[in-house]
Structure 1
Amino acid sequence: MATYVVMEPPAGNKAEDVRFVRDSFTWLGFLVAPLWLAWHRLWIEAVLTFVVMAILSVLGERLGLEWAGSMLSLLVSLYIGFEGQGLRIAALRRRGWREWRVVEAGNLGDAEMRHALEVDEDDDQPAPLQRIVPDASLARPPQTGMALGLTHTPGRP
């Protein structure tokens, strides 16, 4: 079973606007990291990944350690492979999207079906009561008297 993070758009709750992000290793993110990031509109991450990989390759050639530059670039690709979906979720959060729920399903079609069924179930239930937050103006005023150990003796500095 795969795990999908369901992201809802900032404005409007249309079912077709919901995005499903599979929480798993991404092979395309590993194999072609900058292109995969650019495909998912993670422009800054794509440019940074490309620059870091280029610097590591050039630095490895200049120092005569081509294998070290390649291995470090491989580590960058591994990072994108493991954390690429997390970067997508973080980018959506920055754009105002919010996580609706996590859905477990065998494939994307099953995840969409489960989401649709759970949304219908949520519509039948009453909305939860709003949380009551105490008003700060009703809080007790700060004490202005002397405190234990913080006394001031006149005539002493």
Structure 2
Amino acid sequence: MPVYTVHAPFPGGADLRATDKFVFVRDGFHVWAMILGPFWLAWNRLWLALIGWIVFLAAFDAGLSSLGVGRPSIFLANIIVALLTGFEASSLRRWTLSRGKWRQLDVVVAADQDTAEWRFFERWSKSQQGIVNDQWAVDRGGPPPTRNVPGQPFSNPPPLPAGGIIGLFPEPGGSSR
């Protein structure tokens, strides 16, 4: 079963107002990071990792070719670098988040990301009871209007009908025909 780490932005971080900014990072092998390494890094906005990947691969290939290594061996070495990129993609993402002043809140084991979010928020919301669970106080204006208070804009109820009967039932104590 996959393991997810949960990250929250540090300044103003882990309260109910920032839950939409939480990031769940799946640990494990990322196939798309292996197949399309630089595009996956750019898609996930891992800019320093992308620059490092380009510089490393260029220097690695130049070093191997200057040593007289043949093209098939360089290709095999690039496949190994692609495999390493797939294995370390989650670590690169967590490293980028930690550099951006994010902090890791929890580790969740779940079958998919939706289940991981559900498990995390169920456990996390129990620990948040009474701390920040006031759901942003809403200003509803002044007090509710009341009757028979001068200056309060409140309409009087409509007058009773002529027979004193409201609806289908007569008033208590009245005659029932």
TM-score normalised over the length of structure 1: 0.72
Counterpart code for 2:29: F
* Structure 1 residue 45 displacement after superposition: 1.6
Aligned residue pair count: 126
**58-67 or 1-10, larger mean C-alpha shift:** 58-67
Of residues 32, 44, 47, the one that matches 2:48 is 44
- Counterpart in the other structure of 1:11: 11
Which stretch of structure 1 is more off in the superposition, 63-72 or 113-122?
63-72
- Could you tell me which amino acid in structure 2 is paired with residue 66 of structure 1? R
- Aligned-pair distance for 1:84? 0.8
1:71 maps onto 2:76 in alignment: yes
Higher helix share: 1
Change (3 A) 1:105 1:125: farther
Superposition CA RMSD, Å: 2.0
SS of 2:128 mapped into structure 1: helix
Larger radius of gyration: 2
Unaligned runs of 5+ in 2: 132-177
Q: Secondary structure at the match of 1:20?
A: strand
Identical positions, percent = 29
- String of CA shifts for 1:15-44, please: whole Å, max 9, x gaps: 111000000100011111111111111112
Provide the C-alpha distance between the structure 1 equivalents of 2:52 and 2:88, rounded to a whole number of angstroms.
15
TM-score normalized by the length of structure 2: 0.64
Instruction: Provide the rounded CA distance (Å) in 2 between the counterparts of 1:81 and 1:34.
Output: 11
Which letter does structure 1 place at the counterpart of 2:97? Answer: L
Residue correspondence of structure 1 range 141-152 to structure 2 within 5 A = none
Which residue identity lines up with residue 25 of structure 1 in the other structure?
Answer: F
Q: Which runs of at least 4 in structure 1 moved beyond 2 Å after TM superposition?
A: 50-64
> Which consecutive unaligned segments of at least 5 residues does structure 1 have?
127-157
